[in-house]
Amino acid sequence: MSNVETKDILPDSRLKAPKGAKPSRTLGWWTPVFCAICGVPYGYVPEENCTFACWLCNECSETHGAVFGTMMMPDEVFWEKVRQAQIERYGRLLTDQELSKVADDSSSSLAKLLKEN
């Protein structure tokens, strides 16, 4: 056995040369993401401050299982947690601009939750 530690390297689900990015009124540009296995398109991630995104579609996730050493959480479950955290802390859902400011505050529990995704 080697003493060299190996790490699982996940593929990035964004294109190497971004194409199809879309602007947001308040949050800058969003770049498309695709399933890391089959390449089916799925939505967007913010271009700014996003250095990595790995996503599996439901079919590939069911066929191939969870990626070793990672947590699998459906988007619907994650965003419901974000929604509940906003209501618990602020008593309402935040606007995109407010959510962007909260995400920049590393001491906020909501910001920590947003960075989990």
Arithmetic mean of pLDDT, 34-42: 91
Counting residues of the chain whose pLDDT is more than 70, the rounded percentage is 80
Q: Which of 109, 106, 108 is nearest to 49 (CA)?
A: 106
Instruction: Please state the pTM of the whole predicted model.
Output: 0.52
32 pLDDT tier (thresholds 50, 70, 90): very high
Reference 86, options 117, 115, 116, 108; nearest CA is: 108
Tokens of residue 69, six digits: 């050493």
**In the prediction, which pLDDT does 107 show?**
73
Beta carbons within 10 angstroms of residue 72's beta carbon: 10
33 or 77: whose pLDDT is higher?
A: 33
* pLDDT bucket at 2, cuts 50 / 70 / 90: very low
The pLDDT tens digits for 40-81 are 998 888 887 778 888 888 888 888 776 655 666 666 777 788
